[in-house]
A and B are shown apart, each in its own frame.
Chain A
């Protein structure tokens, strides 16, 4: 099925551990992004990419790394997890339109708990 696939759906980490949240899309979208969702704060942009080899920081990038080696994949890495990174993470992608709105397609989300 076409769409954005995130893995894992749930993960529990201990403080200081590292992990990677995977995101893959099969729609040939140039734009991919990661958001975190926290109660009362909506969704906040962590990092985004407009194509393979190109990444940039969003609103809350500290503590997270990304890379974009292929068009399809955009993994999010936590190098040393902290309790403040407990959140629900969403990957989203879209085509890049020269005019008009980019309508994002979201993955199902990954709930991360850091103890």
Chain B
């Protein structure tokens, strides 16, 4: 079975500091994709960043970057220069293949609070 585990239910960080959210996954597949989604209090699911498993280079989107360790099956999210608007629940998600098999499997979520 394919699973995604986020071991930190809650985290907090001071504004302007850096925080890292952890995610591990389990699969025997070689072709897959990894995502981080943000869910603010509005409940809207927002894509933060994605990573293709075949790419060695870690993905970066402005203040958000990932540390993708394929052998360890680890996919952590680093938020630099944290802002109050980053307060949200963050979900790590995993998708095997593409096309008709593109079902997304989510972790349990990490609630992040950014403190002023």
Contact = CB atoms under 8 A, between A and B. Distances in A.
Interface of A: 31, 33, 35, 40-45, 48, 50, 58, 88, 90, 92, 94, 96-104, 106, 108-109
B40 to A, nearest CB: 12
B70 to A, nearest CB: 16
Given A103-B50, A106-B45, A45 B98 contact: no
Contacts of B102: 31, 94, 96-97, 101-102
Contacts of A33: 103-104
A29 to B, nearest CB: 12
Contacts of A41: 108
Interface of B: 4, 6, 9, 33, 35, 42-45, 47, 50, 52, 91, 93, 95, 98-100, 102-109
Contacts of A96: 98-100, 102
Given A50-B100, A96-B100, A108-B44, A102 B95 contact: yes
Given A90-B45, A106-B45, A100 B103 contact: no
A46 to B, nearest CB: 11
Nearest to A100: B98
A47 B108 CA distance: 19
Contacts of A108: 42-44
A100 B52 contact: yes
A35 B95 CA distance: 14
B106 A42 contact: yes
A94 B50 CA distance: 15
A101 B95 contact: yes
B107 A98 contact: no
Most A CB within 10 A of own CB, among B6, B45, B103: B45
B98 A101 contact: yes
Contacts of B43: 88, 108-109
A97 B98 contact: yes
A48 B103 contact: yes
